[in-house]
């Protein structure tokens, strides 16, 4: 089982650390990133502690599909849907993951560059 005792996102989900919540339901929470890299930078986080995309299996299919569906809903609400946006998962050390609780970055409000590097 993953160790979530010191997980910052579990603490945010538990309300032990403050955050700016933009959406929540029984599966997910979406918050403003504390250190945004774009005018819109939202983190979409499952309530269940999952270390990374490396840990997912078919039992997570509802969570994973809801992340993309809610990303699209939030993008519409934040008016970044027409110009476009990016939904990113960083997995593991080489993927640039710094918080070991699965999450996706919804980035928009400026033109993204590619390759991401």
Handedness of CA 47, 51, 54, 56 (dihedral sign): negative
Is residue 37 helix, strand or coil? coil
Residues binding Zn ion: number (CB under 5 A):
6
Phi, psi of 88 (to 5 degrees): -125, 135
Each residue 45-84 as x (binds Zn ion by CB under 5 A) or -, in order, gives ----x-----------------------------------
Q: Is 103 among the residues known to form the active site?
A: yes
- Max CA pair span of the chain: 41
8 binds, among ligand AMP, Zn ion, none (CB under 5 to 8 A by kind): ligand AMP
**89 contact partners, CB below 8 Å, separation of at least 6:** 53, 95, 102, 103, 104, 105
Residues that bind ligand AMP (CB under 6 A): 8, 17, 19, 31, 33-35, 43, 90, 96-99
**58 contact partners, CB below 8 Å, separation of at least 6:** none
Choose the catalytic residue: 49, 101, 103, 105.
103
Query: Smallest distance from the beta carbon of 104 to Zn ion, in angstroms?
Result: 14
Query: Smallest distance from the beta carbon of 52 to ligand AMP, in angstroms?
Result: 9
Residue 10 makes contact with Zn ion by CB under 5 A: yes
């Amino acid at each position: 089982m993953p160790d979530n005792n010191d997980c910052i996102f579990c603490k945010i989900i538990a309300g032990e650390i403050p955050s700016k919540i933009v959406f929540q339901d029984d599966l997910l929470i979406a918050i403003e990133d504390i250190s945004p890299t774009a005018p819109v930078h939202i983190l979409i986080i499952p309530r269940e502690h999952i270390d990374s995309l490396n840990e997912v299996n078919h039992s997570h299919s509802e969570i994973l599909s809801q992340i993309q569906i809610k990303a699209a809903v939030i993008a519409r609400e934040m008016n970044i849907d027409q110009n476009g946006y990016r939904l990113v998962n960083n997995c593991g050390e080489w993927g640039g993951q710094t918080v070991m609780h699965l999450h996706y970055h919804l980035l928009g409000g400026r033109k993204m560059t590619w390759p991401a590097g």
